[in-house]
Amino acid sequence: MKKAVVAVALILAALALSACGSSSSTTTATETKAEETSAAESETGGAKSEGAGAEGAGGTIKIEANPEGQLKYEEEEVTAPAGKDTIEFTNESSLPHDVKVESAAGEVLGGTETVSGGTETAVVNLKPGTYTFYCSVPGHRQAGMEGKLVVK
pLDDT at 118 over 60: yes
Residue 32's pLDDT band (cuts 50, 70, 90): very low
pLDDT digits (tens, 9 = 90+) for 57-102: 889 999 999 999 899 999 999 999 999 999 999 999 999 999 999 9
pTM higher than 0.85: no
Residue 123's pLDDT band (cuts 50, 70, 90): very high
Write phi, then psi, for 52 (nearest 5 degrees).
-120, 170
Write down the mean pLDDT value for the chain. Answer: 77
2-151: CATH, from 1.25.40.10, 2.60.40.1230, 2.60.40.420, 3.30.70.20: 2.60.40.420
Cα–Cα distance for residue pair 2/42, rounded to 1 Å: 56
The domain locations on the chain are 2-151
Greater confidence, 112 or 47? Answer: 112
Report the half-sphere exposure of 14 (CA within 13 A, side-chain side).
7
Q: Give the closest residue to 63 by CA, choosing from 115, 9, 126, 3.
A: 115
Q: How do 118-126 and 83-91 pair as beta strands?
A: antiparallel
Q: CA-CA-CA-CA torsion for 99, 40, 81, 152, nearest 10 degrees?
A: -100
Three-state DSSP state, 6: helix
